[in-house]
Amino acid sequence: MLGRMPTVDTIMSRDVLSVPPDTTIAAAAKRMSGGRVGAVVVLDGGKLAGILTERDVLRVVGEGRVEGSTVADWMTRDPDTIEPSESTDMAATLMIHGGFRHLPVVEDGTVVGIVSIRDLMRVVLDDAAPRGV
């Protein structure tokens, strides 16, 4: 049995990429690629409006609709969020039950970070090493 899991603020990324809703899909994908991230938060007037993930971008490309599409057309609106003081096991539970891999971290109505399934796996596999290492 695992001991007490750390809180979200100890593992979240504080360097969150954000875009406004009217950003083109191509521009958002370029930002994601350049930042080597799988998601951007969508801020409208400083408030969280949605999240756009690599899965969303893949859907746009797969449907051949990149030209003329904006982030607002494809983002997940009003995504689930978590507070920085909540446990990482709560973050994992939300992601597993919601079927998503990125969770915005919000404090007092402001996005302060993002936590990914990869961040959570690092907690679980903290002392593990790959085979042969």
Q: What is the pLDDT of residue 3?
A: 54
Give 80-95 pLDDT, tens digit per residue. 999 999 999 999 999 9
Q: Give the CB-side neighbour count of residue 52, counting CA atoms within 13 A.
A: 31
Please write the tens of the pLDDT for every residue from 28-64: 999 999 999 999 999 999 999 999 999 999 999 999 9
**Does residue 2 carry a pLDDT above 60?**
no
- For a pLDDT cut of 90, what percent of the chain falls above it? 86
CA distances from 93 to 18, 22, 23, 34, 110 (A): 25, 32, 31, 30, 22
Q: Cα separation of 37 and 35, whole Å?
A: 5
Domain ranges of the chain: 8-124
Q: CATH second-level architecture of 8-124? A: Roll (3.10)
